[in-house]
Structures are given as structure tokens and as C-alpha cells.
Structure 1
Amino acid sequence: MLEELAVAYVARFATSAKALERYCRRKLRERGWEGQEEGTPAPDVAALVSRFVEKRYVDDEEFARLRTGSLLRRGYGARRVGAALDQAGIAGEDRHDISQADRRHAALRMAEKRRFGPFGADGAPADDRAVREKQIAAMIRAGHSLDAARELVDAPDQDTARDWAHALDEEEYR
């Protein structure tokens, strides 16, 4: 029964080994397995998860790569990506370093999406200090560095902001 639930779960969701283990333990709790009939052994969740890892139904490294890419494309910064991977139980050896260029692209994506700085309605950075501080704070909460947030929110125009984000791309090709 538990194996069928686990197969259905990994078929439906991209997941990590730790998240699958939490899911299986929760299902056992919900279905009242703990303290059930004496003499009936509880399913070995750790063995089930390790079998799924061996069969590559669950691949933490691939999950980390996909989750990192997804969050960066949505405009989240490196700290927020790290927190999401921590939550999923991804160990350090399964994580990939996020390049400075990817960090800048993610910051630019967030500024464009949320209409911060020169991406606002009038195409210029906000004159109001309180608005600028709120925009910078939102970028920091999304996992971006203070320097990146300031650079984008204070950029005089959209071209300058985009040039800042793409500056490292040009250096890689030299």
C-alpha cells in the first residue's frame, strides 16, 4: 500500500528523497499505522526511499538543478534558492553553484516582473525614497544581494539595468 502511494507521488511530483520520506511517514501517520496491531511491523520507509533512489525514480541532483533553474527564471535570488533546497532536504554535494551572471539575470527578471526602478510605469526610477526602499526590501526578501537590488532600483533607465545584468555574459565569451 505504501509503495503504491509513493509511486503515485513521484509520478505526479518532482521530489527529493527527503521529501518522499516525509510524505511516506505522514501517510503512515494519517492512516493510523503508528500503534497499530502488535506483531505487524511498520513498513521500512528508509528502505523504500533508498530503492526509489537506486531505481532513479528520485534523483536529488536532478531535482536541485531543475528547482534552481525554475526559481532563478522566476526572479528569485541565490539565498531564496538555497532556502528552497534546504527545505527539500537537498545536501550540499547535490547543489550546483549559481553563477554571478545567473544571479544578475534573476535580479533583472524580478525588477522587470515587479516593475521596480526604471521598469515602473514612467520608465524612470521612483523619486520617492519610501518606494525605493520598499522595492529594495522586496528584492532582498526574494534572495538578492543589497548591491544587486540597489543597482537595479537606482538604474537611470531600462537599458542601463539590462546592460548591468548582461555585462558578465559578454565577459564569458571573451
Structure 2
Amino acid sequence: MARTPPREARPYDAQTLARAALDYAARYATTRAKLAAYLRRKLKERGWAGEGDPGVDALVARFADHGYVDDLAFADARAQSLLRRGYGARRIAASLRAAGIEADTAESLRDEIDSGAEDAALRFARRRRIGPYADHVPDRDERRRWVAAMARAGHAMDTVMRVLAMDAAELDIDVGDVTSQG
């Protein structure tokens, strides 16, 4: 039995492009930059059948005006999520840049990120069982690896050194409980 070739998708017009944008914004937490990149990719794949320019930037701006896309809310949610997972300010900033968040929007979250920096570093140390959460005293090479891991996670060096200098008694934790939690 012969297979019929797949039907070629029709090019976008203004209405179908707006529908594609709405479907994407409804399904994914997104930014203006990510929505614009998605629409441009779709236009490249299927083409444009409408009159004139597709007006991707105007469509994205309209979606932002209606509140379908909110860069500040996206950035705040992403920053909070990364802080809860134990990442530092540099790693959060890189993630926001990759998502297309403008520098001034990211900067508006700086105080919030900075205020959670030490707690995030402690969460990272706990998850990795390093510093005050380790069940042993590290040798020099292992301590360097701990510093490097925390630096890669985006923590400032002063925060890294402060967290690694803490001991379990200072944090009122039982290291045996931490290591048995798997």
C-alpha cells in the first residue's frame, strides 16, 4: 500500500501567526525575546503569505501589553527557582541573559538575588555535601574542588569562603542526618 506524502503546511498569514503566538504563550512561560525567536523560526519554516512584513515585533509588543508575556515575572520566577536550587547571582544572571531578559529588568531583581545569596550557597553546599555539610575534613585538593564547584554555581568568592569556613555546630545541624538523607 502506497503512503501518501505528508501535506505541506501552508504559510502563515496575520491570523494564523497570531494564533501560533497565542498557543505558544499559553503553553510556555516565556519572554519577549523567546516568543519573537519562536515566531521567526516558524516563519522561516513555513513562510509568510500575508501582505507586507509579518510584524513579529509588533505582535510580541501587543502580547506584552496584554500581559500574555511578562519579562519581569518570568525573570523573577526563574531567579527564585535558581536560588531555591542553590545557584548564585552570576549563574542566575547568565540564565536570564540566555532567556533574553534585558539588563535593566535583571538589574531590578539584584537586591532580591543578593539577599538570598548566602541561603542559596548553603542549599548548594547541603545538596553537594560540602563545607559544613561534609562528614569529613577535606584535604587541600578537595577543598579546591569545593571552591570551584561553588564558583561554577555562580556564587561570589566571599560567600563561598564564608560558607566553607562554617562548621556544622555553627549551623546547628547533625551531619549524620544530612549524609543519611541520600
Normalised-by-shorter TM-score class: 0.7 to 0.9
Taking the aligned partners of 2:150 and 2:80, their CA distance within structure 1 comes to 18
Question: Which structure 2 residues correspond to residues 1-174 of structure 1 after superposition, within 5 A?
Answer: 1-31=16-46, 33=47, 40-95=51-106, 96-99=109-112, 100-120=114-134, 122=135, 124=136, 126-155=137-166, 157-161=167-171
Paired AA for residue 136 in structure 1: V
Contact 1:25 1:45 in 2 (8 A): yes
Query: Displacement of 1:30 after TM fit?
Result: 2.4
Unaligned runs of 5+ in 2: 1-15, 174-182
Paired AA for residue 4 in structure 1: R
Deviations 1:15-74 (A, max 9, x none): 11111111111121223x1xx67x854521111101101110001111111111111111
Query: Displacement of 1:118 after TM fit?
Result: 2.3
Q: For the pair shown, which has the larger CA radius of gyration, 1 or 2?
A: 2
Percent identical residues: 44
Paired AA for residue 97 in structure 1: R
Taking the aligned partners of 2:148 and 2:162, their CA distance within structure 1 comes to 13
Q: How many residue pairs align between the two structures?
A: 155
* Alignment RMSD (CA, Å): 2.2
Taking the aligned partners of 2:67 and 2:145, their CA distance within structure 1 comes to 44
Taking the aligned partners of 2:115 and 2:70, their CA distance within structure 1 comes to 26
Paired AA for residue 134 in structure 1: R
Unaligned runs of 5+ in 1: 164-174
Normalised by the size of structure 2, how large is the TM-score? 0.76
Taking the aligned partners of 1:132 and 1:161, their CA distance within structure 2 comes to 19
Query: Displacement of 1:7 after TM fit?
Result: 1.3
Taking the aligned partners of 2:138 and 2:121, their CA distance within structure 1 comes to 21
Query: Displacement of 1:117 after TM fit?
Result: 1.5
* CA distance 1:58–1:18, shift in 2 (3 Å): same
Taking the aligned partners of 2:111 and 2:27, their CA distance within structure 1 comes to 27
Taking the aligned partners of 1:134 and 1:83, their CA distance within structure 2 comes to 22
